[in-house]
Amino acid sequence: MNKRLLTVIVIILAVGAAWFGYRYFHPDEPARIGRALDKFCETIGRTQGESPATMAVKMLSLERQLCPNVDVKMNILPIQGRFSVEELVSQAGRLRPLCETLTVAATSREITLEAPTEATVDCTIVAYATWGGEPHRDAINCQIFLQKIDGNWKFAAFRDALP
């Protein structure tokens, strides 16, 4: 009886470990999208005294996170329209140095899978920035559209959230 109980316990533990390992190494799509959004926010952020080399690495990373063409329709941003990835990265590289520091976070996320390769994130983007020695904070409700290209979630559009 004890051998049988021990065998059952070992099987249950093995199945549990396999399930945990699968979930850890193969997260579901909303978790992957959430991580992509976190990486995007980290990439566009800026620390005090950031070196030009760090900025260049971040811009290369940003380029890999965007679709070939990206729609930007957010009233708070100084740029609007449809941009190639190169144009948008160039604009980001030009605008980032205006801030001494920039921290961006996506909160209140609601991730919707529209299709296996399309997703929408309704969220609030909170930005903390310093320029001219003065701290600033802003929060923007927005919709972010992503497409899965070559197994990776990439950003396709940024829009103001509908009222």
> For every one of its 163 residues, what pLDDT tens digit does the chain have, with 9 covering 90 and above?
688 877 878 788 778 777 776 666 656 999 999 999 999 999 999 998 899 899 999 999 999 999 999 999 988 888 899 999 999 999 988 888 888 999 999 999 999 999 999 999 999 999 999 988 999 999 999 999 999 999 999 999 999 987 6
Helices and strands in the chain, H and E counts = 4, 6
Which residue range(s) make up the domain with 111?
29-160
CATH of the domain at 67: 3.10.450.50
Backbone angles phi, psi at 48, to 5 degrees: -60, 130
Residue 129: the pLDDT is 94
Domain-located, residue 46: yes
Pick from 10, 132, 149: which is nearest to 85 by CA?
Answer: 149
| Residue 144 DSSP one-character state | E
Domain-located, residue 12: no
Domain-located, residue 128: yes
Count Cβ atoms within 10 A of the Cβ of residue 146 and give its class: 0-12 exposed, 13-18 middle, 19 or more buried: buried
CB neighbours of residue 26 within 10 Å: 9
Domain-located, residue 14: no
Domain-located, residue 130: yes
Residue 15: the pLDDT is 82
Please, which residues have CB within 8 angstroms of residue 2's CB and are 6 or more apart in sequence?
A: none
The residue type found at 49 is G
Residue 4: the pLDDT is 83
Domain-located, residue 104: yes
Could you give the number of structural domains in the chain?
1
CB–CB of 91/79 below 8 Å? yes
Domain-located, residue 2: no
Domain-located, residue 33: yes
Residue 17: the pLDDT is 75
| Residue 162 DSSP one-character state | P
Residue 84: the pLDDT is 96
